[in-house]
Amino acid sequence: MTQLETLAFALNEFAGLTEEDFNLSASFWHSKKYEKGDYFNQHKSICRYLGFIDTGVFRSYIIDNETAEEKNVFLFSQNQFVIPFKSFVKQIPCDYHTQAMTDASILYININDLLSLYKVSHKWERFGRLMAEMAFHVTLARMESFLFRTPEERYLDLIQNHPDIFNSIPLYHISSYLGMQGPSLSRIRKRISAK
């Protein structure tokens, strides 16, 4: 499958966009390659693009003002959308960095092109609503995971949502995302593998 075919399939699965619907957008999508460490969007800059990950892994992270430690907030992997949603939708400066953690490639669309699709197609307007719902759900689930789930449950959720991530990025990034120290993550992995 080509990048565009993979994207069209994903959009159909996510929002029911048909081939005809997708063709309205085909000329708006552009391909971009990232090297490990390249930024999709930086802190305090306005995100103007919605990305669809063809290959690779991205993270959104903040830098702790007191310790200067990087803390991973969101992870995005293959066949997922990468987007600092609030910055993109409101066109305001972003609260965090979004960076490639591996070499990666994406297809991306500019916000102005996406807004033009909303005006000509109810299906694309629906896509926008579903993206907003997904962003809300991901953010709420992330917050609730720290309130209601054990570290082991957060680890199992990560495996479910990003099954190949352990082969792609260092464990210290995973432990940062899970809100734990490296030794705690090692104990959880050992306990689960023993089951």
The pair of structure tokens assigned to 57 is 């892994």
In this prediction, residue 93 has a pLDDT band, given cuts at 50, 70 and 90, of: very high
Q: Which one is the CATH code of 3-148: 2.40.30.60, 2.60.40.10, 3.40.605.10, 2.60.120.10?
A: 2.60.120.10
Q: Which residue has the higher pLDDT, 45 or 167?
A: 45
In this prediction, residue 34 has a pLDDT band, given cuts at 50, 70 and 90, of: very high
pLDDT tens column, 115-160? 999 999 999 999 999 999 999 999 999 999 999 999 999 999 998 8
Angle between helices 151-161 and 182-194 (to 10 degrees): 80
What's the pLDDT score for residue 127? Answer: 98
Q: Could you give the residue ranges of the DSSP H alpha helices within 18-150?
A: 19-25, 85-90, 111-120, 122-148
What's the pLDDT score for residue 140? Answer: 94
What's the pLDDT score for residue 185? Answer: 87
pLDDT tens column, 53-91? 999 999 999 999 899 999 999 999 999 999 999 999 999
Cβ pair 47, 93 in contact under 8 A: no
Q: Residue ranges of the domains in the chain? A: 3-148
* Distance (Å, whole) CA 28 – CA 48: 13
pLDDT at 103 over 90: yes
Cβ pair 41, 108 in contact under 8 A: no
At 187, give phi and psi (nearest 5°). -65, -40
pTM of the model: 0.92
